Amino acid sequence: MKKLLLLFVLLSASAFAQKQKVWLDADTGNEMDDVYAIVRLLWAADRLDITGLSSAHFNNADLLAFEKWNQYPTAGISPVRISQELNEEILATMGLRHIPHPLGADRQMGRAWGGFEPRPSAATEGMLKAIKSLGAGEKLDILTLGALTNIASLIGLDPTVKSRIRVYSLGGGYDFARKAWNKNEFNVRCDLNAYDFMLNQANLDWTVMPIHSVMHYKFDREMVYENFADNNPVEQLMEKRWRETNPQDKTRTLWDLGLVQAYLLPRLAPVATVPAPPENTQPTVKIFTKLDAQGMDADFWQQVKKHR
């Protein structure tokens, strides 16, 4: 009888165990891979509590120098609002509009010459609300696929949140042979101030996906076109994104999907602790060292079939 009672207690505890709370911050309008990453994370809602999907800007110098950024005319462009519209389309297509989806900052922290002044936004308010609702001992995992503006601004506005969050981001490069960082990367260049701000934060649980660790995670265009079902709105949304944004590319590195897969499948993405850049004050940084691209690819297509 005692054994049966113990078994019942254990099963009950397991059934009512709290799901890990996750927030995703995405520059969804920048490239095609954000859509794949967002869909993949939302497919994991059976084991995760997705507490929010915020939009991030992708402001860059080309917006002032060229007539188009991908398929978007640059005249009067608002990158964060393009990301916001796509986030809302994804959630609506998946029947998940109840997930909070606040608008993020429309520009970098500080100014072009530097500075760490935060950018308050609906996204920082939403994340702070999610953090304040955490139970004792809980933490919010924040995944960010673009510029770190929203996450860095959150910490700048309320440094106490550092003890309640874990951050996973994509951006920057790391040379293992030289033990050297390279900040000359698109996501970092969109807000170098925020990246440096994060690298100056003590006691922050932050894991970085350097671009060299994910650049071999490629998808084949024809495989995508052939394997997505014509009658599945979510799959068609992903296919449409490739057709509209990068139709000329036979293969694409799905950078953002790589970060989400590394988070969901840690056995396929080992982590190491390395020295931080010498110009920053944080002594070390955790990074994903490599990805099992084949294993992640197999998982993605299994998830496609599972969610039809």
How many of the other CB atoms lie within 10 Å of CB of 22?
24
In-domain check, residue 75: yes
Domain that holds residue 247: 17-306
Does residue 213 form part of some domain? yes
Is 12 inside any structural domain?
Answer: no
Domain count, the chain: 1
The CATH code of the domain that includes 235 is: 3.90.245.10
CB contact at 8 A, 84 and 131: no
Give the whole-angstrom CA distance, residue 108 versus residue 63: 15
pLDDT tens per residue, range 6-18: 444 444 444 457 8
Q: Is residue 9 part of a domain?
A: no
Q: Is 6 a domain residue?
A: no
Q: How far apart are CA 46 and CA 59, in angstroms?
A: 34
Q: What percent of the chain has pLDDT over 90?
A: 94
Q: Is 166:143 a contact under the CB 8 Å cutoff? A: no
pLDDT at 31: 95
Give the contacts of 159 (CB within 8 A, at least 6 positions apart): none
Domain annotation covers residue 266? yes
Amino acid at 3: K
> For residue 16, what pLDDT is reported?
53
Q: pLDDT-based confidence at 259, cuts 50/70/90?
A: very high
10, part of any domain: no
- The answer to whether position 154 is within a domain reads yes
Query: What are the pLDDT digits (tens) for 68-94?
Result: 999 999 999 999 999 999 999 999 999
